[in-house]
Structure 1
Amino acid sequence: MTENHDDFAFEPVKGLPETPPEGEHILWQGRPDWWALTRESLNLGWVSAYFVALALWRFGMLIDQVSLASAFAASFPFIVLGGIVAALLLLIGVVQARSTVYTITNRRVAMRIGAALTVTLNLPFTKIARADLSLRRNGTGTIALDPMDDTQLSYLVCWPHVRPWHIRKTKPALRCIPEAQTVATLLAEAAEARVSTPEVNRTGMPTKAHLAAE
């Protein structure tokens, strides 16, 4: 289900560790919106608000004891520290988004994820129990995949490409993708077509000699 992927190895097909087998073709490829990914998975807004609250608290504690300039000077380091942390989170979000490739074929969902440790998740439609769409007003959204019970994935390895807080049973997700509604419709149609198509396993056919002997 999970394959180690070498960042420096040549990809025969973008986002896939190997050329798709005969009969499989790519329907869609994309990656997260870096700004949406930073806000949602790294909680940029909450982190920024935390440092602003610290600065205001410090300012309020000192304003009655020292001059306005001194109170501001004592509070300003929290703003600087918050700016540094926010910049680091933005950098992480950009790197995570740029190193990610989501692929939907007519048979599976493939996710090339990870910045430091890059892996490729192959999720056949026959191993996905359901998919849930969380849509934002700007059109970006997250499609969370619920694997069958026999599929075990690591939350830490998949993060941030997971449904948040579902740690006991990791649900990989196409996080913060643009035009999520269109992609979700495409995924649903491809999965329905694949699951409803019976698999025919080829077996050895008897030769004319065998038939004659019988």
Structure 2
Amino acid sequence: MSHDDFQIEPVPGLPERPPEGEVILWQGRPDWLALSWDALSLPWVAGYFLFLAGWRFVAVSDLMPFGQAVGASVPFLILGGLVIAMLLIVGYVQARATLYTVTNRRIAMRIGAALTVTLNLPYTQLGSADLALRRRGTGTIALSLLGDTRLGYLVCWPHVRPWRMRKTEPSLRCIPEPQKVAELIADAARARITTPQVARTAPHSAAVAAE
């Protein structure tokens, strides 16, 4: 029996239906392979286990024949392969559980594989959006927040700008067509910020003093 963890969402990626006048401009997920490579540091992990295998080979090459020295280093390669496979699974699951939404009023980020949360980031609370292009046509858009707004780094990870822990910058990580999405965000934010916001207030009661 199939089960969709997000079937209770009235609109995919959003905890409730958008209010009148709000329009969804774009929705997308991270590229899972790019997310694994970039956010989970696959090159560093692979390099670490290659270093261990090479170090083991050099350490025992003077004590045993060449074939046995190679065999002594193979377990490090196998262990490294298992770790990389696990990280790829984590990256795939994280990407599948994520859905970024760009509207004409905000950016919404449904993130988290085990504990799912949805971040609502109105354009009026964003200071900037920085685009960083990656390989394979993907890119990351990091969002800086205005004022005293604070988000937990670990809660948002890996959908954050790396190592910005003091003031977390939530990020649309490893998305396809990043330049197109960045232009959509820039145009929508510009239009939203320059549009006058009308707030409804209760009419003031006038006090008339009798002479």
Give, in angstroms, the shift of residue 124 of structure 1. 0.3
Give, in angstroms, the shift of residue 18 of structure 1. 0.3
**Contact 1:33/1:97, CA 8 A, preserved across alignment:** yes
SS in 1 for 2:163: coil
1:131 and 2:137 correspond: no
User: Which whole-Å CA distance do the structure 2 matches of 1:153 and 1:63 have between them?
Assistant: 51
Q: What is the aligned-residue identity percentage?
A: 64
After superposition, give the CA deviation of every residue in 1:111-150 in whole Å (9 maximum; x if it has no partner).
Answer: 0000001000000000001110001243210000001122
- Tell me the equivalent position of 2:41: 43
- Tell me the equivalent position of 1:210: none
Worse overlay, 62-71 or 156-165: 62-71
**Contact 2:128/2:145, CA 8 A, preserved across alignment:** yes
- Tell me the equivalent position of 1:82: 80
SS in 1 for 2:50: helix
Amino acid at match of 1:104: V
**Contact 1:139/1:181, CA 8 A, preserved across alignment:** no
After superposition, give the CA deviation of every residue in 1:161-212 in whole Å (9 maximum; x if it has no partner).
Answer: 0000000000000000011011001100000000000011234679xxxxxx
SS in 1 for 2:115: coil
- Tell me the equivalent position of 1:72: 70
User: Which whole-Å CA distance do the structure 2 matches of 1:35 and 1:99 have between them?
Assistant: 14
Q: How does 1:99-114 map to 2 (within 5 A)?
A: 99-114=97-112
After superposition, give the CA deviation of every residue in 1:73-125 in whole Å (9 maximum; x if it has no partner).
Answer: 11100000000000000000000000000000000000000000100000000
**Contact 2:6/2:12, CA 8 A, preserved across alignment:** no
Q: How does 1:110-125 map to 2 (within 5 A)?
A: 110-125=108-123
After superposition, give the CA deviation of every residue in 1:40-89 in whole Å (9 maximum; x if it has no partner).
Answer: 11000110111011101101111121011111111100000000000000
**Contact 1:145/1:172, CA 8 A, preserved across alignment:** yes
Cα RMSD of the aligned pairs, angstroms, is: 1.6
**Contact 1:96/1:115, CA 8 A, preserved across alignment:** yes
User: Which whole-Å CA distance do the structure 2 matches of 1:78 and 1:32 have between them?
Assistant: 31
User: Which whole-Å CA distance do the structure 1 matches of 2:40 and 2:121 have between them?
Assistant: 25
**Contact 1:141/1:180, CA 8 A, preserved across alignment:** yes
Worse overlay, 135-144 or 125-134: 135-144
Which residues of structure 2 form unaligned runs of 5+?
Answer: 205-211
Amino acid at match of 1:171: E
Q: How does 1:65-214 map to 2 (within 5 A)?
A: 65-203=63-201
SS in 1 for 2:179: helix
SS in 2 for 1:21: coil
Which residues of structure 1 form unaligned runs of 5+?
Answer: 1-6, 207-214
SS in 2 for 1:121: strand
Amino acid at match of 2:66: L
SS in 2 for 1:138: helix
User: Which whole-Å CA distance do the structure 2 matches of 1:176 and 1:8 have between them?
Assistant: 22
Name the count of aligned residue pairs. 201
**TM-score of the aligned structures, taking structure 2 as reference length:** 0.92
**TM-score of the aligned structures, taking structure 1 as reference length:** 0.90
